[in-house]
Amino acid sequence: MIAVIQRVSEASVAIEGEVRGQIGVGFLVLLGITHEDTNEDVEWLGRKIVGMRIFGDEEGKMNLDLKTVGGNILLISQFTLHANTKKGNRPSFIDAAKPDIAIPLYQKMTAFLNGEMGSPIQCGEFGADMKVSLLNDGPVTIIIDSKNRI
């Protein structure tokens, strides 16, 4: 499971012209799920996301986490994070989980993050053609792969 975390001042997702999720300060999280991912990956990665201390403290050092700054999460499923680009110019998505595996894990991640945050996060819609807007703060972008824990 791969997460691309972008620290944002604001972010939103629209589907067919309608805003479906919107946050102020927080994280835009793009989540890629592979067929090898499990509930353990959900929990490990979910804890890492919520615990990321990448907001500035009073000295300007990245030392504060999402809850401390009163931020929220906008979670977007993105199978293209598992693109294989080794051969040719057309990416292969064979490593991305099929919907029967990915949807339940995406839903578990949503529920896990809701629980960790203590309030509902915002989400896109799995498999939809989404238009994501963000104001990246920093910019700060962190990539975490649950398969690279050590």
Q: What confidence score (pLDDT) does residue 149 get?
A: 82
In the chain, what is the straight-line distance between the N-terminal and C-terminal CA atoms, in Å?
15
Q: Where are the domains of the chain?
A: 2-145
Pick the catalytic residue from 38, 80, 107, 141. 80
112-123 in b/e form (b: 16+ CB < 10 A) is bbbebbeeebbb
**How much of the chain, in percent, has pLDDT values that exceed 70?**
99
> Which whole number is the average pLDDT over 16-29?
98
Catalytic residue of the set 79, 110, 112, 122 = 79
What distance lies between CA 135 and its chain's CA centroid? 15
Q: Of 6, 34, 55, 78, which is the active-site residue?
A: 78
Which fold is adopted by the domain 2-145?
D-tyrosyl-trna(Tyr) Deacylase; Chain: A; (3.50.80)
Mean pLDDT of 34-49: 97
According to the model, what pLDDT value does residue 2 have?
98
Q: What is the pTM of this model?
A: 0.95
Residue 36 has pLDDT above 90, yes or no: yes
Residue 150 pLDDT greater than 80, yes or no:
no
Reply yes or no on whether 79 is catalytic. Answer: yes
- 120 falls in which pLDDT band (50, 70, 90)? very high
